[in-house]
């Protein structure tokens, strides 16, 4: 997070540009990988890395107060749980009849 | 009144108020989009489990999505740089970078507009044998002629059919059990749709008189408790409408959304649904055993009803081609496609191979890539479903429009807020620059979240 020291701020600015370039490179990589081999895992993997960079650096999550981490841990727990509900639905008798 | 902890952090949370607020809000946003992403996974896995349902892949323009991703990433960098310039107390530079963020948002939304428009003007027809044709320029005009009876639902009647009458609106007489009651009605669109009454004044008056007199002249539909009125026109008339605007259509009548039922027959001038330029054929789920039995072959080929039907009455006249020409077009598409499959797989292809591919483009003998532009006319009773590429067409477009539409609204809302900070908040900045910097940070956090959602949307919607 940027402090009020102008030198520190300029240093942060350089970091933000570097992260921006890294994100652009990752975007090109996503398209190239999808073109060569359309893999959901690789595509989502790169997207997660990009999202991680945005959250950690641009949104300052790499250097935040504990309160924000607490909020986000609960949120991520429930959001991931939401995805697993979908998988549970696949074992629902109606859907699993179709699968099997 | 001075609100505490706008600049300094609260001792218990370690955060200034707005920061805690935005993170709680972003947590709720994670759950909102998380729910929609979960819905996407559910629909996609469900589609994979259905043997005859093919999830549309590669239907969006990757370059458009790629450019929009680059734009959002750049805007994310710009917003954080703008915030740093507030920290450096350089308002002019802050404004420049914030201006660039708003510009990026506008370009993103304009791109999205082009993408949506391409979907709204692209159509698909699913035939009764589950084959699909897609293309541009649909005409679903349907003419009912010889209409000699109209059944109105008195409570719902809104006069819609009156606006579609070909020529003069006739006088109507009421009949009960096939016998005229002596009541006649001059229905008019203006009166029916007037502010004072949803139904014709004369109609209303006559009903009231009958009701007062204790006569039960009007029919009651017992199961629904709906009052109906059966009217016969002084002379049979015609209506011209789009099939999509009808509630239901039958060979011997049409039902409107206000429950009005018109009894007549479909004109030979409009025997079916017309698509001006077919650009893709999908036979993967087709029930036919042989190519020649598939309905797409039939209606693109020399049995096409297009060849014989009257095309003088509307825009279809542009494609008045002969049956022989038509058959050649169909042949070109199918055998061109077979050839393409043969080239891709390196062995002889048959109809089953063709069924495993969706045909869009094929190579001609010179090797150049061609795209079909053949017209097709599908008889009404062979159309299972037709629509432009909107949620009605399939679940992919349902989730696509929900996700990207909601995301687009976030872009719009974020851009308005950031524009306000950039160009309407100079006094606020001069009064308390640190408080202003906090506001910009909060706006920036929202903007990064918008970027973050798109980072996931791009691969799942455009690339997979």
State mean pLDDT over B362-388. 75
Of the listed ranges B9-18, B124-133, B225-234, the least confidently predicted one is B225-234
CATH of span B17-124+392-463: 1.20.120.80
What is this model's ipTM? 0.91
Cβ neighbours of B19 in A, within 8 Å: 68
The full 3-state SS of chain B, as one line of letters, equals CCCCCCCCCCCCCCCCHHHHHHHHHHHHHHHHHHHHHHHHHHHHHHHHHCCCCCCCCCCCCHHHHHHHHHHHHHHHHHHHHHHHHHHCCCHHHHHHHHHHHHHHHHHHHHHHHHHHHHHHCEEEEEECCCCEEEEEEEECEEEEEEEEEEEEECCCCCCHHHHHEECCCCCEEEEECCEEEEEEECCCHHHHCCCCCCCCHHHHHHHHHHHHCCCCCCEEECCCCEEEEEEEECCCEEEEEEHHHCCEEECCEEECCCCCEEEEEECCCCCEEEEEEEEEEECCCCCCCCHHHCHHHHHHCCCCCCCCCCCCCCHHHHHCCCHHHHHHHHHHHHHHHHHHHHHHHCCCCCHHHHHCCEECEEECCCCCEEECCEEEEEEHHHEEEEEECCCCCCHHHHHHHHHHHHHHHHHHHHHHHHHHHHHCCHHHHHHCHHHHHHHHHHHHHHHHHHHHHHHHHHHHHHHC
pLDDT computed for residue B217 by the predictor: 47
pLDDT computed for residue B281 by the predictor: 78
pLDDT computed for residue A25 by the predictor: 96
Helix (H, G, I), strand (E, B) or coil at A15: helix
| CB-nearest partner of A2 from B20, B87, B449 | B87
Q: Contact B14/A67, CB-based, under 8 Å? A: yes
pLDDT computed for residue B220 by the predictor: 36
pTM (2 decimals)? 0.82
pLDDT computed for residue B447 by the predictor: 97
Percentage of residues in chain B having pLDDT higher than 90: 47
Q: Contact B50/A98, CB-based, under 8 Å? A: yes
pLDDT computed for residue B25 by the predictor: 97
Residue B432 in this model has a pLDDT that exceeds 70: yes
Domain ranges of chain B: 17-124+392-463, 129-139+274-388, 141-266
Show the low-confidence residues of chain A (pLDDT under 70): 1-3, 92-100
| Preferred mutation among A67, A69, A83 to probe B, highest tally of B CBs within 10 A | A67
- What residues contact B151, with CB distance under 8 A and at least 6 apart? B228, B229, B230, B231, B260, B261, B263
Cβ neighbours of A9 in B, within 8 Å: 84, 87-88
Model confidence pLDDT, tens digit, residues B223-250:
334 467 888 999 999 999 999 999 999 9
Cβ neighbours of A31 in B, within 8 Å: 62, 66, 463
Q: Which of residues 67-96 of A touch B (CB under 8 A)?
A: 67-68, 71-72, 74-76, 78-79, 82-83, 85-86, 89-90, 95
Residue B445 in this model has a pLDDT that exceeds 90: yes
Q: Which two tokens stand for residue B463?
A: 């690339």
CA distance A86 to chain B (A): 5
Residue B454 in this model has a pLDDT that exceeds 50: yes
Model confidence pLDDT, tens digit, residues B56-103:
877 889 999 999 999 999 999 999 999 999 999 999 999 999 999 999
CA distance B418 to chain A (A): 16
A41 touches chain B (CB under 8 A): no
State mean pLDDT over B248-269. 91
State mean pLDDT over B285-309. 70
Q: Contact B80/A34, CB-based, under 8 Å? A: no
Cβ neighbours of B88 in A, within 8 Å: 6, 9
Model confidence pLDDT, tens digit, residues B328-345:
655 666 666 666 666 776
For residue B57, what is the nearest residue in chain A, using CA coordinates? A38
Domain ranges of chain A: 1-63, 65-100
């Amino acid at each position: 997070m940027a402090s009020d020291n102008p030198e520190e701020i300029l240093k942060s600015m350089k970091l933000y540009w570097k992260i921006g370039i890294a994100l652009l490179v990752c975007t090109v990589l996503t398209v190239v990988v999808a073109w060569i081999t359309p893999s959901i895992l690789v595509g989502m993997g790169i997207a997660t890395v990009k999202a991680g960079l945005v959250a950690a650096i641009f949104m300052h999550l790499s250097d935040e107060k504990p309160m924000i981490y607490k909020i986000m841990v609960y949120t991520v727990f429930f959001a991931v749980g939401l995805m697993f509900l979908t998988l549970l639905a696949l074992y629902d008798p109606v859907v699993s009849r179709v699968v099997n | 009144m001075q609100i505490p902890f706008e600049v300094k952090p609260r001792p218990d949370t370690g955060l200034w108020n707005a920061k805690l607020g935005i993170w709680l809000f972003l947590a709720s946003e994670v759950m909102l989009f998380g729910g929609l992403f979960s819905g996407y996974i559910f629909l996609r896995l469900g589609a994979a489990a259905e043997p005859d349902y093919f999830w549309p892949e590669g239907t969006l323009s990757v370059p458009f999505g790629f450019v929009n991703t680059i734009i959002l990433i750049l805007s994310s960098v710009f917003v954080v740089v703008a915030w740093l310039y507030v920290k450096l107390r350089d308002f002019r530079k802050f404004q420049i970078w914030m201006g660039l963020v708003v510009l990026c948002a506008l370009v993103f939304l304009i791109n999205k507009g082009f993408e949506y428009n391409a979907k709204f003007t692209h159509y698909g027809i699913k035939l009764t044998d589950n084959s699909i044709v897609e293309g541009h320029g649909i005409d679903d005009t349907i003419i009912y002629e010889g209409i000699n009876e109209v059944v109105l639902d008195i409570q719902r009647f809104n006069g819609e059919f009156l606006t579609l009458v070909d020529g003069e609106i006739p006088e109507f007489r009421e009949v009960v059990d096939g016998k005229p009651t002596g009541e006649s009605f001059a229905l008019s669109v203006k009166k029916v749709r007037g502010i004072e009454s949803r139904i014709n004044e004369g109609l209303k008056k006559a009903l009231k008189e009958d009701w007062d007199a204790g006569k039960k002249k009007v029919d009651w539909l017992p199961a629904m408790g709906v009052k109906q009125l059966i009217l016969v026109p002084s002379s049979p008339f015609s209506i011209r409408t789009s099939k999509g605007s009808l509630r239901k259509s039958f060979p011997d009548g049409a039902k409107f959304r206000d429950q009005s039922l018109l009894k007549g027959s479909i004109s030979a001038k409009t025997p079916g649904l017309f698509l001006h330029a077919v650009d893709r054929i999908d036979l993967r789920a087709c029930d036919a055993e042989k190519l020649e039995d598939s309905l797409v072959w039939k209606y693109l080929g020399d049995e096409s009803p297009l060849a014989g039907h009257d095309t003088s009455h509307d825009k279809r006249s542009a494609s008045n081609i002969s049956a022989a020409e038509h058959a050649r077009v169909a042949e070109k598409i199918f055998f061109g496609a077979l050839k393409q499959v043969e080239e891709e797989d390196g062995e002889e292809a048959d109809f089953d191979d063709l069924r495993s591919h969706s045909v869009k483009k094929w190579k001609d003998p010179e090797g150049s890539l061609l795209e079909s532009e053949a017209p097709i006319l599908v008889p009404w009773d062979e159309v299972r479903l037709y629509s432009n590429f909107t949620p009605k067409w399939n679940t992919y477009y349902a989730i696509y429009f929900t996700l990207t539409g909601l995301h687009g609204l976030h872009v719009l809302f974020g851009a308005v807020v950031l524009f306000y900070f950039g160009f309407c908040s100079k006094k606020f900045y001069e009064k308390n620059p640190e408080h202003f910097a906090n506001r910009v940070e909060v706006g920036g956090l929202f903007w990064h979240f918008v970027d973050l959602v798109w980072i996931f949307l791009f691969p799942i919607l455009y690339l997979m």
